[in-house]
Amino acid sequence: MNILHIDCSPRPGAHSRKLSMAIVERLLEVSPGAGISRRDLAFHPVPHPWPDYATALSSPATLATPPPGSLDVSEFLIREVEAADVIVVGTPMNNLTVPSVLKAWIDQVLRAGRTFRSTPAGKVGLLRDRPVLVGIASGGTFAGDRATQPDFLRPYLSAVLGSTGLKTLHFLTVQATAFLDEDQAIVAREQALATIDFKCFAEVPCPGCIG
């Protein structure tokens, strides 16, 4: 198994980082020989699209002959995804949705003609599906009977990653972190982890998650 582990929070001790690390540790328990590729978008952010990149994507003609080097970062990030059997993302909920560093990564990975193609019925993903485990930490409550804020993060990630072919998303959530002490946070992480049967990841592709 090859794991692509992505973190987004600028805080080293963030709840989302602890959750994503716990997810990776559970994967290693069932697949001890797994390889891990690490991408920290907070401490090593992906550049936002620059003029040459935007120009390359502006039409089929420019995409066929893009400015030299304009797609290099995008291609590198896409190949990281393609090399992974499982993707683990740790992210806070920032202003009801994904943080800007994760959006920048998405804008490089979601690329016409490479990870999706446009059809009259909409985007068709070109990537092989694989499990994406998303660990979300939120200072407030966005799901359940006590939700006090809307959730644009999960629907957005489901739609945007699904358009590339990554349709098997699992969301693990730790909510109301602003009101949790460390002991309560540990319990919340364990409850989030308990929503996934990690034993199914002992085989790749995961038969309990895909197909």
pLDDT at 208: 67
Share the mean pLDDT of the chain. 94
Cβ atoms 47, 70 nearer than 8 A: no
User: Which of 65-69, 91-95, 194-198 has the lowest average pLDDT?
Assistant: 65-69
The three-state secondary structure class of 195 is coil
Residue 186: CATH number of its domain: 3.40.50.360
Would you say residue 117 lies in a domain?
yes
- List pLDDT tens digits, range 126-169: 999 999 999 999 999 998 888 999 999 999 999 999 999 999 99
Q: For residue 149, what are the CA distances in angstroms to 114, 170, 176, 181?
A: 35, 21, 11, 21
- List pLDDT tens digits, range 15-67: 999 999 999 999 999 999 999 999 999 999 999 988 999 999 888 888 888 88
Cβ atoms 86, 131 nearer than 8 A: yes
Q: Which residues pair with 94 in a beta bridge?
A: 97
Would you say residue 180 lies in a domain?
yes
Would you say residue 8 lies in a domain?
yes
Q: Which helix (H) or strand (E) holds 30?
A: helix 15-30
Residues shown for the chain? 211
Would you say residue 209 lies in a domain?
no
Number of structural domains the chain divides into: 1
User: Which of 39-43, 58-62, 179-183, 187-191 has the lowest average pLDDT?
Assistant: 58-62
Would you say residue 149 lies in a domain?
yes
Cβ atoms 74, 15 nearer than 8 A: no
Would you say residue 130 lies in a domain?
yes
Helix axis angle, 100-109 relative to 72-83, nearest 10°?
A: 90
Would you say residue 211 lies in a domain?
no
Q: For residue 31, what are the CA distances in angstroms to 27, 153, 205?
A: 6, 29, 12
Structure tokens at 158: 């489901």
Would you say residue 184 lies in a domain?
yes
pLDDT at 211: 60
Range of 161's domain?
2-202
Identify which of 54-58, 90-94, 119-123 has the greatest average pLDDT.
Answer: 90-94
DSSP per-residue letters across 45-113: PPPPP-HHHHHHTSSHHHHHSPPTTTTHHHHHHHHHHHH-SEEEEEEE-BTTB--HHHHHHHHHH--BT
pLDDT at 204: 72
Q: Is pLDDT above 90 for 125?
A: yes
Q: Is pLDDT above 80 for 74?
A: yes
User: Which of 1-5, 172-176, 207-211 has the lowest average pLDDT?
Assistant: 207-211
